[in-house]
A and B are shown apart, each in its own frame.
Chain A
């Protein structure tokens, strides 16, 4: 098959062929035909894919040598045994082959299928099998020209792409986090499967920005839309908002980045949506729980205070009653001393106000409220607590004193919550001193630096046992017989919510000191 003319240029061959029809002699014609056959045979033999020609009866007329490269079998083997093609197809894909053959018997047309074969060395190879009917100039069918292409690599890539897509999809499902792409020119919003799930929209439904907005909670729509418009102007887009999915409320967090073209026009956005409903729920629960615990601990602290507070009320009430009855006596005389009576009435008014102030203070302490941060002078906060415990300190024979830095800078905090902390620390101190003879408690305020102030409550009680040091601030830890173990844990939480820190230490001589820091109000940290 190989001839000397193999290396001849193509233009030569063509020029000879053109001369072909113009009455050359037979010898010359045969030679030219042979040359031509050589040429096409060469073209066929050097084909990269595994090609063959099946005649109308299914006999192999031609097999390209590249079959060996793809299958490991030589072309002679295929020619000798045409069924070899079918035999090397992997068992699972034989059905594809049979169906393909059957359809070609019913209708002659160009068709392609994909299946796997066992190569001679046992490896598996993906084949793209294309059958092209061979029809001559007169329209007669001369069998099929078949191309088999090794597509193993492509298949592997497709598979790894599929795996990575499915992993991404599963990861998104696990994280409740979906991704999206918005083509701003076409207003085409592409969602990952997870977003469809989060938003409760049928998988694959065509989406637009407007359709997305419809799912957003009506109260949040304006906020989302404004944020998105700001993002288009170059602002960061990282928002949390609510959506309504089949009547149920969900919380999502959205983040996005915008792509701009050379003219600076926004062309597309890519972003994520995370379902944070559970986190929001947990946040709300823990917030409510903390509020409740704080309330409970305040009520508990009030219980301890009841005796002292009763005293605070009974004093003015006793004075009012005695004054009023003295006034009644004076009025019974023939010439009542009106000046005396006037003075009595003014004293009654004064004591009545004193009693109602006690009530207001108790009410304020018992009130359940959110944190209300205002600028505070911590000394004033402490001075308001002292009257609540001063009679308790008298009964318990405790010397209660304060050493307050009168140049202390203002802090930002919740007055009631801070009073609760101070009250609780004082009452703890009182309790710690019941078994000792020398009982003194002193509250100090000092400024540490530009940033922080410290409040310390120093007692002369039994101190903190070393084994308890680490557990002191843990919830439900208590050394008291009837304690709940929440006081210090809640105090710690309150102080931390103020940006400060609460700790305790034993004094060198006797007792313990509880200290907490609070950040100085920024405008005042000169």
Chain B
């Protein structure tokens, strides 16, 4: 399977539903892969390209809801479209709040499904882009010495070198050198850019 082509994973215990969804999704040009249970899906090796998951809520063994929780816990960010035979509104609200892309009561129209799949794939592409970016930032961060990382955290608070030197009990000159190295290693020119990168990877300012 070409991993650059978006792929839709289908998990449903009902054979008819599985087969019909696979046909429909393939007919509009996506890759499709089916699984009879949540457990079977979990045993598949991770997929590299953009993808989304069409997940039946009620299944024997691990339910769709359980699988969603497990994926969230394990930080596997695949977008999920829930499908269900029970038009259960409270359950759908909860699922959306927990990050599902959509919640489609069976039987659903092709338009609803394709629109949900497109939305999910877009989200996945975006997520993947963010992830790659984050990995790259992290990669640069890994080149910093502990002292440089410490200075970085003070710099993003917007403090002057003098102030940082006072906080760390070193000379202003020393801070100036560390800051220069940080900017060079992170391949940026401005403090504003540094703040943006730090936010992306979730670096917080030091606690006083």
Contact = CB atoms under 8 A, between A and B. Distances in A.
Interface of A: 307, 310-323, 325-326, 329-330, 340, 344, 347, 350-351, 354, 391, 394-395, 397
A317 to B, nearest CB: 4
Given A318-B106, A326-B23, A307 B14 contact: no
B105 interface: yes
A257 to B, nearest CB: 69
Contact of B60 (A310, A330, A394): A394
Contacts of A350: 16
A507 B13 CA distance: 33
B20 A311 contact: no
B17 A322 contact: yes
30 contacts: A310-B85, A310-B87, A314-B85, A314-B86, A314-B105, A315-B14, A315-B17, A315-B106, A317-B106, A318-B20, A318-B83, A318-B85, A318-B106, A319-B16, A319-B19, A320-B20, A321-B107, A322-B17, A322-B20, A322-B110, A329-B24, A329-B27, A329-B28, A344-B23, A347-B16, A351-B20, A391-B58, A394-B13, A394-B58, A395-B58
B74 interface: no
Contact of B16 (A311, A325, A354): A354
The interface residues of chain A, by DSSP majority, are classed as helix
B125 to A, nearest CB: 24
A311 B14 CA distance: 11
A323 B15 CA distance: 13
A323 B24 contact: yes
Interface in B175-205: none
Nearest to B88: A307
Given A325-B24, A394-B60, A314 B106 contact: yes
- Counting contact residues on chain B (CB < 8 A from A), the size range is 20 to 34
A438 to B, nearest CB: 15
Contacts of A318: 17, 20, 83, 85, 106-108
B75 interface: no
A82 B78 CA distance: 137
Contacts of B106: 314-315, 317-318
Given A311-B85, A391-B58, A391-B85, A319 B17 contact: yes
Contact of B27 (A312, A321, A326, A397): A326
B85 A323 contact: no
Nearest to A312: B85
B109 interface: yes
Given A321-B110, A325-B110, A350-B16, 5 more contacts: A312-B85, A322-B20, A323-B20, A326-B20, A394-B13
Q: Which of B85, B87, B110 counts the most A-chain CB atoms under 10 A from its CB? A: B85
Q: Which of A322, A329, A347, A350 counts the most B-chain CB atoms under 10 A from its CB? A: A322
A124 to B, nearest CB: 94
Contacts of A315: 14, 16-17, 85, 106
A230 to B, nearest CB: 63
Contacts of A323: 20, 23-24
B21 interface: yes
Contacts of B83: 318
A347 B19 contact: yes
Contacts of A321: 20, 107-110
Contacts of B28: 329
A318 B19 CA distance: 11
A313 B113 CA distance: 19
Q: Which of B20, B59, B60, B106 counts the most A-chain CB atoms under 10 A from its CB? A: B20
- Identify the 3 closest CB pairs spanning chains A and B, nearest first: A318-B106, A311-B85, A329-B27
Given A325-B24, A395-B58, A316 B87 contact: no
A479 B105 CA distance: 34
B20 A314 contact: no
Interface string B16-58: 1101110110111000000000000000000000000000001
A397 to B, nearest CB: 8
B108 to A, nearest CB: 7
A354 B26 CA distance: 25
Contacts of B13: 394
Contacts of A394: 13, 58-60
Nearest to A391: B58
Contacts of A310: 85-87
A345 to B, nearest CB: 12
B21 to A, nearest CB: 5
A330 B24 CA distance: 9
A317 B105 CA distance: 11
Contacts of B87: 310
Contacts of B58: 311, 391, 394-395
Contact of B107 (A314, A344, A397): A314
B117 to A, nearest CB: 12
B86 A395 contact: yes
B16 A351 contact: yes
Q: Which of A311, A319, A325, A330 counts the most B-chain CB atoms under 10 A from its CB? A: A319
Contacts of A395: 58, 86
A326 B19 CA distance: 11
A329 B28 CA distance: 7
B8 to A, nearest CB: 12
A465 B103 CA distance: 42
A381 to B, nearest CB: 24
B14 A319 contact: yes
B39 to A, nearest CB: 15
A350 to B, nearest CB: 7
Contacts of B113: 322
Contacts of B108: 318, 321
Contacts of A354: 16
A319 B20 CA distance: 5
Nearest to B60: A394
Nearest to B29: A329
Contacts of B63: 397
A363 B108 CA distance: 26
Nearest to A351: B16
Q: Which of B60, B106, B113 counts the most A-chain CB atoms under 10 A from its CB? A: B106
Nearest to A309: B85
Contacts of A330: 27
Nearest to A323: B20
Nearest to B109: A321
Contacts of A322: 17, 20-21, 23-24, 107, 110, 113
